[in-house]
Copies of this chain bind each other. A is one copy, B any other.
């Protein structure tokens, strides 16, 4: 393995074979719900940021570190949502292509062509505060709107689908607050985020009352950058 280009070693002995992880990183730009997708050098292959588990680290450690390396984003709060273990979820041809186009020896990395079971995680991050950086294996890392995804490798589309489903289910419990919006936001932005995630629409007044009733919001100063109308308040999430 070319350790100049790839400081992270991929020696078979260092890793647990057959085990991978993948991540679905959600961001909201105020209008659309987006996720981060990697494109591999000269392959036209698109994939979720993922990686492998070293023998001497826990799954959780591997995922946190691995996803941060591959996306260039720190302080991710990743939540495990499902493990994928279908027989359809290996594509040795694609993996060969990725190795080849990165100048890596296929024989030496043969274990990567084998069957993998993947533990999938998702995270919500504030679109405006991050600057994703592709890792050496990948050409680019880009935000894609959920309805404009490129065709993804293997079962990665299924993983995205399931991630969104889980996000919808957990929306009210705890999550949205964490990271998806800027630190301060208007009620309208909050409603937009909810609507994009759930795919539903809400009545403005009922939504506002419901949100305020949760007692999870703190009201701040008004936001005066708007148009010819009453200025909205800014809110932030109360830390519990």
Q: Which residues of A contact B (CB under 8 A)?
A: 16-19, 53, 55-60, 62, 80, 82-87, 115, 117, 119
A59 and B117 form a contact (CB under 8 A): yes
Nearest chain-B residue to A18 (Cβ)? B16
Return chain B residues, CB-CB under 8 Å to A58.
Answer: 85-87
* This protein's copies in its complex: 2
Nearest chain-B residue to A120 (Cβ)? B83
Q: Quick one: which of B19, B57, B85, B86 contacts A87, CB cutoff 8 A?
A: B57
Known contacts A60-B85, A60-B86, A80-B82; decide if A55 and B17 are in contact (CB<8 Å). Answer: no
Min CB distance A98 to B, Å, is 22
Known contacts A53-B85, A82-B80; decide if A16 and B60 are in contact (CB<8 Å). Answer: no
Q: Quick one: which of B17, B53, B62, B86 contacts A59, CB cutoff 8 A?
A: B86
How far apart sit A188 and B18, CA to CA, in the bound complex (Å)? 48
Return chain B residues, CB-CB under 8 Å to A18.
Answer: 16-19
Q: Quick one: which of B62, B82, B83, B115 contacts A16, CB cutoff 8 A?
A: B115
B16 and A117 form a contact (CB under 8 A): yes
Return chain B residues, CB-CB under 8 Å to A17.
Answer: 16-18
Min CB distance A81 to B, Å, is 9
Known contacts A115-B55, A117-B16; decide if A83 and B80 are in contact (CB<8 Å). Answer: yes
